[in-house]
Structure 1
Amino acid sequence: MEFLALLLIVLVVVMLQNWVFQRWGLRSLDYSCTLSTDEATQYDDIELVETITNRKWLPAPWLKSEITTSVGLDFAGAQSVLTDKSRFVPSFFMVRSYQTVKRVWNVHCAARGEMEIQKIVLVSTDLFGNVTLSRPVEVSANVLVLPKPFVLEEVFLSPKNLSGDIIVRKHLLEDPFFFSGVREYTGREPINQIHWNASVKEQELMVYQHDSTSTQTLTVILNMQSQARDFADRPHLLEACIRTSASVIENTWAEQIPVRLMSNGNISKEALKTHQGLISTQSWGKEHILELFRLLAKLKYGFTDPFDEYLYDISASVTSSDIVIVTAYLTQAVCDFAREKQLFGVRVKIFILGRISEQEIPEDCDIYCFRENYNLQTETKEEKIS
């Protein structure tokens, strides 16, 4: 009889605590989630701060926040689950009565783009695990991760130089109106740049040498089509193209060269569907460069038109003194575009991120090829052992 009475008391207590937790378990429980910054650079570490405040007498002996974030945010030390578009991170708490608990996550910005905390769900249970409660939490935490520029001298080489020396100069561009001397003719300069008197004196063709000044302008043309024939995206090549474009744009800062960005990609999927390419304003200065970096960060995968067609369409509108083309592959149309501009005294440089054979490299185009032994993951150049 006493045993039955004791069992009845235990049963009543369990049912009572079930009712109490079911009624008040997630009440008066405040949750917030914030990021330490709203803008960062690729491979930076930032902080995500979770704060839980229990404003009632009933404790939360077992509380979990299920965080859903963008894949590009990597949580240090967390056993996360990845899908194609999201990362799921569980976070466990034990909160006493009238207590505030704060947890700081170290978050690594592994990729450029618009990253966000997409969704958070609070899950709680009672002392015996009989009652499970859940509640979605409204959260607005975003960070724009800017692309990290390459060091061009480390990442690119000229395939025309068999010794593998880097020919990317400190000043990427030259001013045709600022004469500083003469140099040997390489075959890429227009005929009107030949210095005939110096050529006669040296018994070989010599051309005018120009220095960098702020009177020149630059257009960076970014190809968001990763393959010439197959339209499937190759993200690693597109990301390398974006980072190369960021490098070229960043190099204009020291000389205050007006620069603009053009691309057959865009920052919205609707623009891609309506074949609207990206065209930025042309300006110079820190704020303008930062704005171009933001455009690069927001670029979506996909392209408005095949790159060969895109170059044909924009050819007449590109009137800057210098052009840099960043592409994952090289076609005859790209070379023709470069030659046509060079005939009018425009200097054109082409940065290629994909594989290219020596037979495909035209002699009259200024081309830089990506080092195949450069490790994008570790940001180092791996020396080959012969």
Structure 2
Amino acid sequence: MVLIGILVLFVVLITLQRVVYSRFWSRNLSVDLVFSARTGIEGGTIKMTEVITSRKLLPLPWLTVKFQVSRHLVFLDKKHATITDNYYREDLFSLGMYQRISRTLEILLQKRGYYTIKSIDLVSSDLLLTRKLVDHASSHSVITVCPRLIPREELEVPYSQVMGQVLAKTALLPDPFEFRGIRDYQGFDTLRSINWLATARTGALKVNVHEYTASREVYILLNVEPDGAFYEEELIEEGIRIAASLCEYLVHDDVSCGLISNARDVITGESIDMAAGQSIQHIHQVQEQLGRLDLSRKPAVFAQLIEGRFVSAGEEPVLLMISLNCSEEVCQAWDSSLSYGSQGLWILPRYADRQDRVPETEHPYFCWEVKRHVH
């Protein structure tokens, strides 16, 4: 009878703990995956911390945390990982009562892009390992990987051409804040420039003369359309790096820089039109926007996007177009954009070992040679 009683008690205890764990194992249990920064740079590293918190008396002898991310986020600790189209990771923990555990992992940011971890799978069991318990946790972990910057010395030729065009406008645009003197009125002068006090004193029309300044405004026009039927992502990614690098260096040289692109934003789905700016914050905004470009979506038609965009009675910016596509439509839209008075340079990313067509345009262009990436 005693043996039967012990067996009955044992069965009751097993059943009870199974019921308790089935109902309460995931209650007051939280898992957070936290990146050390909101953005990173292609080719750099960043840290991600797994934080598991149990706010209850019930211990968990083992808890497996499973999640998946893009394979372009490479965890340097490759334990418990499977890599296919995505990166699948499993980490094992053991939690006592009211315990918090954190583990920090280092990640190599292999490719530009916008990456999310949307869900986490949790797997555990009861004390006696008689039942497998599964639950899911939501995640809002996001990181934007911005394009890698090309060293300034490598961009010296196209950058010098762009800066030359910016500075060449010095003698064309008066600076209203820098007064140089007074002279006689001429037929091309505006009424706004007349100095009425000097006119009244001399009895002849006099106008103010100002010092001259450069427009110091550049718009980067980034086209992600391929040149022909073959989609060459490596060249387009290089074009994005060129855009990021030139914006960085121009702003540091006190030149306002804007960005227009037919690529789609991964969040909004819209093409890109960022006004010119000249602050450190503006650089960060441009870099992050370039990181969020989604090349898997069909881009807007580039020729339509820039056609008539710079028709203005004000100061014309210097235009810097980065485009693989040399189609007739793009060439016509480019020539039309420059016909309104803007200066410009077309940069064409090209493989160094291949001869591709060049644009049929009367305006300057520069072929940026790209070495093929060996996989």
The TM-score normalised by the length of structure 2 is 0.73
Change (3 A) 1:295 1:171: same
Q: What are the superposed Cα offsets for residues 255-285 of structure 1, whole Å, 9 maximum, x if unpaired?
A: 211221111223157655xxxx422112222
Does the 8 A contact of 1:338 with 1:348 survive in 2?
no
Change (3 A) 1:11 1:358: closer
- 1:138-287 matches, cutoff 5 A: 138-151=138-151, 153-154=153-154, 167-169=157-159, 172-174=162-164, 175-178=167-170, 215-225=215-225, 227-230=226-229, 233-267=231-265, 271=269, 277-287=271-281
Change (3 A) 1:22 1:338: closer
Displacement of 1:305 in angstroms is 3.7
Change (3 A) 1:261 1:303: farther
- 1:81-92 matches, cutoff 5 A: 81-82=82-83, 84=85, 86-92=86-92
Q: Does the residue aligned with 1:237 lie in a helix, a strand or coil? A: helix
In 1, Cα distance between the equivalents of 2:22 and 2:159?
69
Q: Structure 2: which 5+ residue stretches go unaligned? A: 172-212
Q: What are the superposed Cα offsets for residues 140-175 of structure 1, whole Å, 9 maximum, x if unpaired?
A: 322222222222643x6xxxxxxxxx7345574222
- 1:99-110 matches, cutoff 5 A: 99-110=99-110
Q: Does the residue aligned with 2:294 lie in a helix, a strand or coil? A: coil
Q: Structure 1: which 5+ residue stretches go unaligned? A: 157-165, 180-212, 378-386
Deviating more after overlay: 345-354 vs 367-376: 367-376
Displacement of 1:325 in angstroms is 0.9
In 2, Cα distance between the equivalents of 1:60 and 1:149?
46
In 2, Cα distance between the equivalents of 1:4 and 1:281?
82
* 2:122 counterpart residue number: 122
In 1, Cα distance between the equivalents of 2:26 and 2:224?
48
Does the 8 A contact of 2:46 with 2:109 survive in 1?
yes
Displacement of 1:234 in angstroms is 3.9
Does the 8 A contact of 2:59 with 2:97 survive in 1?
yes
- Structure with a larger share of its residues in strand: 2
In 1, Cα distance between the equivalents of 2:363 and 2:153?
19
Sequence identity (%): 20
* 2:96 counterpart residue number: 96
Counterpart selection for 1:350 from 326, 336, 346:
346
Change (3 A) 1:317 1:151: farther
Q: Does the residue aligned with 1:27 lie in a helix, a strand or coil? A: coil
In 1, Cα distance between the equivalents of 2:35 and 2:267?
26
* 2:293 counterpart residue number: 299
Displacement of 1:229 in angstroms is 3.4
* 1:193 counterpart residue number: none
Matched, 1:328 2:329: no
C-alpha root-mean-square deviation of aligned residues, in Å? 3.5
Q: Does the residue aligned with 1:19 lie in a helix, a strand or coil? A: helix
Change (3 A) 1:324 1:169: closer
What letter matches 2:228 in structure 1? R
Please say which structure displays the higher CA radius of gyration: 2
Displacement of 1:233 in angstroms is 4.8
What letter matches 1:90 in structure 2? E
